[in-house]
């Protein structure tokens, strides 16, 4: 029973966010799950509503007003990725064009365009609907801006699936995952990994490996495999890995997934914080990690300062938060440098 529960938790955390296609950045797009616009079919003055939640858990309000099989999602939250709603003689009607979760496919069209395909939508004459979401990079757009909606064309004989197309533009899709005005992550992200030794309070040695702002550690993390180590022998899976030795050999844990960068923010003019989630679980609680980087002209590209593991709690928190503290001579633009004494003062202000 415990193994089954752990497997389910592993699946939950390892599959979010649902879109991952370097170098495109879906984090901000996936953080909101209820985009909605009005669209007018060709030659019609009656609008229809197109609601969409790409790369997230799905639309919160379901899709359609009928029971299955007419409307697969109906009033079920987090079921549909793209929903088309319109008015007919008998009232409102709707159809899910593609079910939420992992897309059927996600691929690059060009260096500034991606196409995400969701399938298994509500049926038309025994054939399912399917939708392609094409997102183009546009610095003048919002997080997502509606461009056009192209309904499927009726065909005889019917195709394997009726294909709809949703055209969007985005100001954040082509922005690197680590992007904070005034800070330069390019030198840090150009290396595949960094490793530092940390001496724990009991005197044992551990290795902290990380791959901030890049595709992830090239050699995976942990030796036990799922559900305990979701990144075992999986390149580009883990962003921060803790490795140690015990009586049974080498052990490890991923503290945050490379495709689960939750937040990138400035905590001062000379420091940033990166938060990675979805790490390996402790009993039933996932790990999460804050990577704090200070500017220091005397540091290397990245210099290790400290590693702070969480304190076990009962009942457990929503996640166990680890903290990695680093300094860098490459992070800040000219004039935004911080010496060690200033770094330690800032750490005190943050409660470390």
pLDDT tens digits, 40-60: 877 778 889 999 999 988 999
- The answer to whether residues 278 and 304 belong to one domain is yes
| Range in 87-91, 229-233, 248-252 with the lowest mean pLDDT | 87-91
- The answer to whether residues 209 and 316 belong to one domain is yes
Bridge partner list, 143: none
Residue 268 CA to residue 54 CA, distance in Å, equals 33
The answer to whether 82 touches 166, Cβ cutoff 8 Å, is yes
Domain boundary among 117, 136, 170: 170
Domain boundary among 121, 142, 170: 170
Residue 84 CA to residue 151 CA, distance in Å, equals 10
- What domain range includes position 280? 186-349
User: Could you read off the pLDDT of 1-43 as tens digits, one per residue?
Assistant: 333 333 333 333 333 357 878 778 887 788 778 899 998 877 7
> Which three-class secondary structure state does DSSP give residue 10?
helix
- The answer to whether residues 166 and 190 belong to one domain is no
The answer to whether 142 touches 173, Cβ cutoff 8 Å, is no
- The answer to whether residues 157 and 260 belong to one domain is no
Please check the confidence at residue 304 and state whether its pLDDT lies above 60. yes
What residues have CB less than 8 Å from 223, skipping those under 6 apart? Answer: 229, 232, 249, 250, 251, 252
CATH number for the domain harbouring residue 210: 2.70.130.10
* Residue 5 pLDDT: 36
| Range in 102-106, 161-165, 340-344 with the lowest mean pLDDT | 340-344
- The answer to whether residues 206 and 332 belong to one domain is yes
Please check the confidence at residue 283 and state whether its pLDDT lies above 60. yes
- The answer to whether residues 115 and 258 belong to one domain is no
HSE-CB for 34 with a 13 A CA cutoff: 7
- The answer to whether residues 239 and 343 belong to one domain is yes
The answer to whether 74 touches 51, Cβ cutoff 8 Å, is no
Structural domain contains residue 246? yes
User: Could you read off the pLDDT of 160-179 as tens digits, one per residue?
Assistant: 999 999 999 998 888 777 88
Backbone angles phi, psi at 309, to 5 degrees: -75, 160
């Amino acid at each position: 029973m415990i193994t089954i529960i752990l497997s389910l938790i592993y699946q939950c955390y390892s599959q979010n966010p649902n879109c991952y296609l370097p170098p495109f950045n879906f984090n901000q797009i996936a953080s909101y799950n209820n985009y909605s616009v009005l669209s007018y079919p060709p030659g019609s003055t009656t609008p229809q509503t197109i609601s969409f939640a790409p790369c997230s858990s799905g639309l919160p309000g379901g899709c359609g007003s009928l029971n299955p099989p007419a409307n697969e999602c109906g009033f079920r939250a987090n079921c549909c990725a793209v929903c088309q709603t319109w008015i007919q003689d008998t009232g409102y009607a709707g159809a899910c064009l593609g079910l939420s979760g992992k897309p059927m496919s996600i691929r690059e069209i060009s260096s500034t365009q991606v196409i995400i395909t969701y399938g298994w939508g509500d049926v038309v004459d025994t054939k399912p609907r399917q939708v392609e979401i094409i997102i183009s990079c546009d610095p003048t757009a919002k997080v997502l801006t509606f461009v056009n909606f192209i309904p499927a064309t009726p065909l005889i004989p019917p195709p394997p699936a009726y294909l709809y197309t949703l055209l969007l533009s985005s100001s954040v899709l082509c922005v690197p995952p680590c992007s904070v005005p005034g800070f330069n992550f390019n030198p840090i992200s150009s290396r595949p990994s960094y490793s530092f030794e940390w001496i724990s309070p009991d005197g044992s040695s551990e290795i902290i490996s990380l791959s901030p702002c890049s595709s992830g550690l090239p050699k995976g993390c942990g030796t036990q495999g799922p559900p305990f180590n979701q990144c075992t022998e999986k390149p580009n899976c883990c962003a921060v890995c803790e490795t140690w030795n015990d009586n049974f050999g080498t052990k490890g844990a991923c503290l945050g997934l490379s495709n689960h960068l939750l937040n990138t923010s400035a905590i001062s003019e000379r420091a940033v914080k990166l938060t990675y989630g979805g790490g390996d679980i402790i009993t039933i609680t996932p790990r999460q990690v804050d990577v704090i980087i200070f500017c220091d002209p005397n540091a290397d590209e990245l210099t290790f300062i400290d590693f702070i593991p969480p304190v076990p709690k009962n009942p457990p928190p929503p996640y166990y938060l680890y903290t990695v503290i680093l300094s860098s001579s490459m992070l800040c633009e000219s004039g935004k440098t911080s010496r060690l004494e200033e770094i330690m003062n800032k750490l005190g202000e943050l409660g470390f």
